[in-house]
Chains A and B, each alone.
Chain A
Amino acid sequence: MRRLRALVADDHPAVRAALVELLDVLGFEVVGAAGDGVDAVAMATELGPDVVLMDLSMPVLNGLDATRLLREDLPEVPVVVFSAFDSAELKRQALAAGAVAYLVKDSATQRLRATLEGAVALAAGRAGSA
């Protein structure tokens, strides 16, 4: 089975590095790691990942705006928001911006993997039915 290709966007270097390592060991192919929203959009456009794992609070362009741009430019690439805030309002905003799921950064590993795989499957289903 092909490894799912993931793009990570997080401005905190330690989180970014840890996330890349964890996704790798969970079987994802991490195609890129962006430090801000602009880089995330640019790398997604260039690398065409299966899924983007997006932090919200980032410099230059925040995760919500980057998600909106990706929904417009790359509607077939699902965005999963990965935030330090456990906030119902932020979750509502993230989903309104076009994210398919909202995960808090202390989510269990299995939940992270299942959410990313589910997001990709959902996007593939949509693409197939379109």
Chain B
Amino acid sequence: MSADTAYRAVAEHLPDAAVVLFDLDLRLQLATGTTLPDPAWSADHAVGRTMVDLVPAEQAAMLQACFRAALAGARQHLETPGWRGPGQYWALDVVPLRGEDGVVSGGMAFWRDISKRHRAEEALLEARQLARSGSWEWDLATDRMRWSPELYRILGVQPGAVLTRQRAREFIHPDDLAMREELLAGVRTDPSPFQAEFRAVRTDGTVVWILAHTQGVCDPAGRVVQVVGTNQDITTAKQAEQERRRLLGRLYELLEGQHQRLAADLHDGHLQSLAAIGLRLDHAAVRLDRGDVALVGGMLRSLRQQTREELVALRRTITTLRPLVLDQRGLAAAVAELATATRARAGLDACEVTVDLDGARLDPEVETALFRVAQQALANVDQHAHARRLKVALHRDGPQVVLVVEDDGRGFDPAHTQAVADSHGFGLTCMRERLHAVGGEFRLESAPGAGTRIQARAAARAAP
């Protein structure tokens, strides 16, 4: 069997492979295989030609150089894009062929189509970029580290920079260095995989959170010779988690404040009123035992009035918690009722209420958020504004619903009094957060002596 026949047999039975033989003039002597670089390379067409004749100039120059190097005795390996279309990728091994006298008489190029593998690698790289995840290897014998391109990017390092473990540890945040070093020292004796989070400092000084999966690689004798791992940038997730914790803390704080206010209302108001009613009933009972019927009659009538007042006060407490009118008749009715009550409580000269939502009910979340903003804004008018006139408007504006509460009171400087305002119970932050929670916007306009105007906007989502 001739060498040609043997090559042909090998090439034609290997999937995704092709064999090309060439002479000292780089002319093809044989081109065969299931996956020739170019289907036009039939034996008749290709034999006797050079790469310059067969492939585009750029690739031809590279291949010719590779062939020449092989003819000079050096085995070549390269991976290169194909020329027949996007996504095509070739692995090429070129070796010199020697005659029986040992002299190089030509060369052989062994082609493999690695397009699929290359696509998978690119997908992996893309996935890692999307996941902001890079991989690394640390060779314990040489102390050299290899990083994937994404890891260089995560830490803001010029790709390809030579890295030692010492250099790599300089990226670890000083506060997390001891913990990270201890874990990495442990992997030298126990190669089991583990995961840990730590902070790293990028070359531009910004701090990133890293989730690292790490494990040791052992030689046949069981000694750890290499440590490998992936480092994922989880800064965004960490920030989101911190923000979530902050908001949760704020929510609990607000709930606790609400509970405190409710407890105070119940204790200082209702409980004491009921205790007073009880004491007066005791008093009436003693009088009744003594036959002071006329006096007891007067006391009971007075107690009836006191009970009525207490019922009104209790209703107010319940309404503060969750007004029935909001659930039963919707936002427009609830805001109108609030405005009317504020006018009476604050003794305003005028209160202009323009409320129109066409009778449609909104998403309960939006209704509640806007109602709470109205409630807080009107409580501010009542308790802080010293206003004479009040305007409350609630209407649709395209896909949004807009609430405006405007007074002619003493106003304040929003730029300088946010903290003071909140500590005094203006609840500006609360109003803003309530609206943000439903994707809405809050605007405040106020100036000392020039009244206050709040505008709350939220999507007019219909009730489901």
On whether the beta carbons of B272 and A22 are closer than 8 Å, the reply is: no
Q: Is the interface of B mostly helix, strand, loop or mixed?
A: helix
Chain B residues contacting A21 (CB-CB under 8 Å) are: 279-280, 283
Among B273, B280, B285, the one with the most A-chain Cβ atoms within 10 Å of its Cβ is B280
- Of the candidates B267, B277, B287, which one forms a contact with A84 in the assembled complex, judged by CB atoms under 8 Å apart? B267
A96 in the interface, Cβ–Cβ < 8 Å?
no
Shortest CB-to-CB span from A9 to chain B, Å, is: 14
Asked, given contacts A25-B287, A57-B267, A84-B267, whether A109 binds B282 with beta carbons under 8 Å apart, the answer is yes
Chain A residues contacting B279 (CB-CB under 8 Å) are: 15, 18-19, 21-22, 105
On whether the beta carbons of B275 and A22 are closer than 8 Å, the reply is: no
Chain B residues contacting A114 (CB-CB under 8 Å) are: none
- Of the candidates A18, A26, A57, which one forms a contact with B276 in the assembled complex, judged by CB atoms under 8 Å apart? A18
Asked, given contacts A57-B267, A105-B278, whether A15 binds B283 with beta carbons under 8 Å apart, the answer is no
Cα A84 to Cα B272 in complex, Å, equals 7
A73 in the interface, Cβ–Cβ < 8 Å?
no
Cα A108 to Cα B275 in complex, Å, equals 12
B219 in the interface, Cβ–Cβ < 8 Å?
no
On whether the beta carbons of A18 and B283 are closer than 8 Å, the reply is: yes
A92-120: CB near B (< 8 Å → 1, else 0) gives: 00000000000001101100100000000
Cα A57 to Cα B287 in complex, Å, equals 30
Chain B residues contacting A112 (CB-CB under 8 Å) are: 282
On whether the beta carbons of A109 and B286 are closer than 8 Å, the reply is: yes
Chain B residues contacting A109 (CB-CB under 8 Å) are: 282, 285-286
Q: Is the interface of A mostly helix, strand, loop or mixed?
A: helix
A17 in the interface, Cβ–Cβ < 8 Å?
yes
Interface size class of B (residues with CB under 8 A): 10 to 19
B306 in the interface, Cβ–Cβ < 8 Å?
yes
Question: Number of A-B pairs whose CB atoms are under 8 Å?
Answer: 49
Asked, given contacts A84-B267, A105-B278, whether A14 binds B272 with beta carbons under 8 Å apart, the answer is yes
A12 in the interface, Cβ–Cβ < 8 Å?
yes
B271 in the interface, Cβ–Cβ < 8 Å?
yes
On whether the beta carbons of A18 and B286 are closer than 8 Å, the reply is: no
Chain A residues contacting B285 (CB-CB under 8 Å) are: 109
On whether the beta carbons of A22 and B286 are closer than 8 Å, the reply is: yes
Cα A22 to Cα B306 in complex, Å, equals 17
On whether the beta carbons of A14 and B282 are closer than 8 Å, the reply is: no
B101 in the interface, Cβ–Cβ < 8 Å?
no
B268 in the interface, Cβ–Cβ < 8 Å?
yes
Which residues of chain B from 245 to 289 have any CB-CB distance to chain A below 8 Å in the complex?
Answer: 267-268, 271-273, 275-280, 282-283, 285-287
Cα A116 to Cα B422 in complex, Å, equals 47
Shortest CB-to-CB span from A12 to chain B, Å, is: 4
B264 — nearest CB in chain A belongs to which residue?
A57
- Of the candidates A14, A26, A105, which one forms a contact with B286 in the assembled complex, judged by CB atoms under 8 Å apart? A26
B290 — nearest CB in chain A belongs to which residue?
A25
Which residues of chain A from 61 to 84 have any CB-CB distance to chain B below 8 Å in the complex?
Answer: 84
On whether the beta carbons of B271 and A22 are closer than 8 Å, the reply is: no
B299 — nearest CB in chain A belongs to which residue?
A21
Among B282, B285, B306, the one with the most A-chain Cβ atoms within 10 Å of its Cβ is B282
Among B276, B285, B287, the one with the most A-chain Cβ atoms within 10 Å of its Cβ is B276
Shortest CB-to-CB span from A62 to chain B, Å, is: 13
Among B271, B275, B276, the one with the most A-chain Cβ atoms within 10 Å of its Cβ is B275
A-B contacts, 12 of them at CB < 8 A, read: A12-B275, A14-B276, A14-B306, A15-B276, A18-B276, A18-B280, A19-B279, A22-B279, A57-B267, A84-B267, A105-B275, A105-B278
Interface residues of B (CB under 8 A from A): 267-268, 271-273, 275-280, 282-283, 285-287, 306
Interface residues of A (CB under 8 A from B): 12, 14-15, 17-19, 21-22, 25-26, 57, 84, 105-106, 108-109, 112
- Apart from A109-B286, A112-B282: 17 A-B pairs, beta carbons within 8 A: A12-B272, A12-B276, A14-B273, A15-B272, A15-B275, A15-B279, A18-B280, A22-B279, A22-B280, A22-B283, A84-B267, A84-B271, A84-B272, A105-B275, A105-B279, A106-B278, A109-B282
